[in-house]
Homo-oligomer: A and B are copies of this chain.
Amino acid sequence: MSPEDHSAPPATPGKTRLSRELVLSAALALVDAEGLDALTMRRLGQELGRDPMSLYRYAANRAALLDGVSELVLDELDIIPDDPDWQAQLRRIAHDLRLLALRHPNVVPLLVTRPLSTPLGLRPLGTLRPLEQILSLLIDAGFAPEDALHVYRAYYGYLYGHILNELQEFVVDPDENEALLRLGLHRLPPKEFPRLRALAPVLADYDGMAELDEGITILVSGLAARLPLPGASTKP
């Protein structure tokens, strides 16, 4: 019962100086906990025990803040370009990214959407790093640069697609998943959606990891087959 009652549940209680990292990680925590809409300047300010306006020292505006959150999340992904077995690498990274998406489902819309409104070269560097690193990995493994780009595109395309797919079917609470699904699907007119309704039980237990793994296998072996065999030098 002190006169100034600043009990800060997740916030920094005292008066430590702010920093970009502090702001961004508070933003990420907020998004993880309550979704993208909860991330308003005012709310974040309150979470940090500061005036909302103070945030503008660390992010030019709300959009930049969102970019910062994307960057922060992507930094959790580490790509170590040691292993020369590119297929194994791509598989591992795919699983890592999938887990990362499951850990921060509310951030995925950002990851997927923000690049659409920013020209490639003007994106936050943290966002481009995975691209650079995977290119590097592939080229080191023996791909010609252009082919590496093609492989990257097919790979990342499928990977993001899968993540979106899986997150769509994941919804809220995994324990209630089946019930919710049945409930939801029950609403569909049986004449128009016989197939979907019939597949309800199958939809209910969806093993995203296994499915991703199969997809990667198909894609990677398909790619390997139609490209100049890796391992051989590409110099003339």
Contact = CB atoms under 8 A, between A and B. Distances in A.
Interface string A202-236: 11000000010011001101110010000000000
B168 A120 contact: yes
- A: interface residue count bin: 35 or more
Contact of A184 (B108, B120, B139, B160): B120
Nearest to A211: B153
A132 B218 contact: no
A223 B214 CA distance: 10
A109 B119 contact: no
Contacts of A195: 132, 135-136, 139, 145, 148
A112 interface: yes
Nearest to A183: B121
Interface string A136-168: 100100000110111001101111111011011
Interface string A102-123: 0001001100110110011110
Given A121-B187, A171-B119, A132 B192 contact: yes
Nearest to A185: B121
A99 interface: no
Given A121-B182, A122-B184, A150-B214, 15 more contacts: A112-B113, A116-B164, A116-B167, A116-B168, A120-B203, A131-B196, A132-B195, A156-B161, A157-B158, A157-B161, A160-B160, A160-B161, A160-B165, A219-B219, A222-B222
- The 10 A-B pairs with the shortest beta carbon distances in the complex, nearest first, are A121-B184, A161-B161, A157-B161, A218-B222, A135-B195, A121-B185, A157-B162, A160-B161, A109-B113, A158-B158
27 contacts: A109-B112, A109-B116, A113-B113, A119-B180, A119-B181, A119-B184, A120-B169, A120-B181, A128-B196, A132-B192, A132-B194, A135-B199, A136-B195, A139-B195, A149-B202, A153-B162, A157-B164, A157-B165, A158-B158, A158-B215, A160-B160, A160-B161, A160-B165, A161-B161, A161-B164, A218-B219, A221-B222
